[in-house]
Structure 1
Amino acid sequence: MKYLVMVQGAQADYEAMKGKGSGHSPAWSKQDLQAMFAHMNAINDDLSESGEMIDGQGLVEPAKTRHVSVDKDGRPVITDGPYGETKEVLAGYWVLDCESLERVTEIAVRVAKCPVPAGSTDYPVVIRQIDESGGSDL
């Protein structure tokens, strides 16, 4: 079964990783960043080695986001970030092919144990099974 495993963040977290702390997220040191990247790279390496990794990416900060919609007349409405009203956003993801929900949950627990500076926001790791039925289950 295929699953999407998602980690969340906010613009303040990206700023904190650049050393600009706030009440929402303390500033990260170079050692904090190295520990986080080492943790995530070890997970990626293990998932690649086990054959469970299909894809996984970290995403750029919300300030570099673009929203595209259409107005009532069908014209495009394009808005570039940052978005003050946005709290949490998708910060990164993995697409995994795992034998069970229990296995992907084990992986999510490992992701959730990523080292972060004390006082950082604790976001849940979100698991969603990918619908491979082509909509036939509707």
Structure 2
Amino acid sequence: MKYLVMIQGTQADYEAQGGKGSADAPAWSEQDIQAMYAHMSAINDDLAETGEIVDGNGLAEPAKARHVELGADGKPVITDGPYGETKEVLAGYWVLDCANVERVTEIAERILQCPGPEGTKQFPVVIRPILDGGGDV
């Protein structure tokens, strides 16, 4: 069964990882960044070894996002980010092919153990089954 595993963040989190902390997100040091990368790389390596990883990536900061929606007149309205009304955004994801939801939950628990500076907000890891071609999970 395939699952989408998502991690969330905010624009402030991206800025903090760049060294610009705020009340909502403490600044990350180079050691903090390297520890995070080492943690995530170890997870990715293990998933590659077990054959469970299909795809996975971190995403660019919300400030580099583009929002496309239909306006009242039915024409597209395009807005470049960040968006003041948006709190959390998708920061990264994995597409995993795991035997069951218990296994993917174990992986999500490991993702939550990612190191970071004290005071960093911990967002939940979201797991969503990917529908097969027939709409069944």
TM-score per shorter chain, which class?
Answer: over 0.9
Distance 2:81 2:58 in 1: 18
Corresponding residue for 2:134?
Answer: 134
Aligned to 1:105: 105
TM-score of the superposed pair, with normalisation by structure 2? 0.96
Q: Distance in 2 between matches of 1:84 and 1:133?
A: 36
| TM-score, normalised relative to structure 1 | 0.96
| 1:48 alignment partner in structure 2 | 48
1:3, distance to aligned residue in structure 2 (A): 0.2
Give, in whole Å, the separation in 2 of the partners of 1:71 and 1:124.
32
Flag structure 2 segments of 5+ consecutive residues without an equivalent. Answer: none
Q: How many residues align?
A: 136
> Aligned equivalents of 1:74 and 1:132: distance in 2?
32
Displacement of 1:134 in angstroms is 2.9
Q: Deviations over 1:44-67 (max 9, x none)?
A: 011011100000000000011100
Give identity over the alignment, percent.
71
Quote the residue 2:75 is aligned against: 75
Alignment partner, residue 94 of structure 1? 94
CA root-mean-square deviation: 0.9
Residue correspondence of structure 1 range 20-31 to structure 2 within 5 A: 20-31=20-31
Q: Any idea what the Cα deviations from partners look like across 1:54-105, whole Å, max 9, x if unmatched?
A: 0000000001110001123321110001111110000000000000000000
**Paired amino acid for 1:125:** V
Structure 1 stretch displaced more, 28-37 or 64-73: 64-73
One-letter amino acid of the counterpart of residue 44, structure 2: N
- After TM superposition, where is structure 1 displaced by more than 6 Å over at least 4 residues in a row? none
* Unaligned stretches of 5+ residues in structure 1: none
SS at match of 1:95: strand
Distance 1:25 1:86 in 2: 16
Distance 1:95 1:39 in 2: 18
Task: Name the CA distance, whole Å, in 2 between partners of 1:22 and 1:40.
Answer: 24
